[in-house]
Amino acid sequence: MRIRRTLQAAALIAAAVLLGLLTVQGTYALWNASALTAPGTVSAASFDVAMTSTLAGQATSNMTLPSGQSANLNLGPTAALQPGDSVQAGVVVTNNSNATGTFTTEFAAGQPSVTDTPTVADPKAGLAHYLTVTAKTATTAAQCNDTTGYGAVTGLRSPPVAKGGATVFCFRVSLSQEPDSSVKGKAVNITLPMTARQCGVSGVC
């Protein structure tokens, strides 16, 4: 009789973004679209993007903190995976910009980083070697539980999101059917970078 091994995979998924100066400057082009302006007060607009975990009770965080540092959002969950099992989590990304003009925002997921905790000298000896991270975009958080449509994370982009609108990124962590018995009880940290960029007046990035 074959006994299925339970592996404690601490699937700690974090989403972060780096908003560079060039990204923010995109709003200036919209403000300068008019050749003549009446005297008045110039106000700065914000390019705020909110991230909310799809898990119940999770907090919302802006992609950048007041200090200018990138934010980290714990999507969770910490799960006990058996060989061949998967776990899903997601993040709702909202375009909260208050800049004037007609434009949208595009969000993208970057290359996931899967690291053993604690680190191991031989990468093939750790749990990370037996895990696969896939992703997809969705319109609702509930769609993250649908196992269809998941694919490569790197290069995954959202449709254009209008001001006040939102999109969902779903992430799936899968354990190999036949992991080595030495990784039983091991854990990993999974970090997923997110980026955002403002599209032009035409709405095309």
Q: What does the pLDDT look like over 117-168, one tens digit per residue? A: 777 777 777 888 888 999 999 999 999 999 999 999 988 999 989 888 999 9
Number of H helices, E strands in the chain: 1, 13
> 87 has which bridge partners?
173
The predicted structure's pLDDT at residue 121: 77
Calculate the CA dihedral of residues 108, 113, 117, 118 and round it to 10 degrees: -140
**In-domain check, residue 40:** no
Least confident piece of the model among 69-83, 98-112, 119-133, 169-183: 69-83
Higher pLDDT, residue 62 or 93: 93
Rounded CA-CA distance 147/37 in Å is 53
Mean pLDDT value across residues 174-191: 82
Token pair, residue 37, equals 């302006």
- Domain count along the chain: 1
CA dihedral 126, 172, 61, 27 (to 10 degrees): 110
CA atoms within 13 A on the CB side of 94: 14
**Would 37 be classed as within a structural domain?**
no
Q: Report yes or no on 138 lying in a domain.
A: yes
Contact 105, 196 (CB under 8 A): yes
Amino acid at 191: T
Please give the pLDDT value at position 15. Answer: 26
For residue 70, is it within any domain?
Answer: yes
User: pLDDT exceeding 90 applies to what percent of the chain?
Assistant: 13
Whether 2 is in a domain gets the answer: no
Cα–Cα distance for residue pair 185/10, rounded to 1 Å: 10
Q: Which residue has the higher pLDDT, 114 or 137?
A: 137
Domain that holds residue 162: 7-30+45-198
Strand pairing report for 166-175 and 131-138: antiparallel
Residue 96 lies in a domain: yes
181: left (phi over 0), alpha (psi -120 to 50) or beta: alpha
Other CB atoms closer than 10 Å to residue 190's CB: what's the count? 21
Q: Is 1 a member of any domain? A: no
- Residue 62 pairs in a beta bridge with 50
pLDDT tens, residue by residue, 72-91: 777 766 667 788 888 888 88
Q: Is residue 56 part of a domain?
A: yes
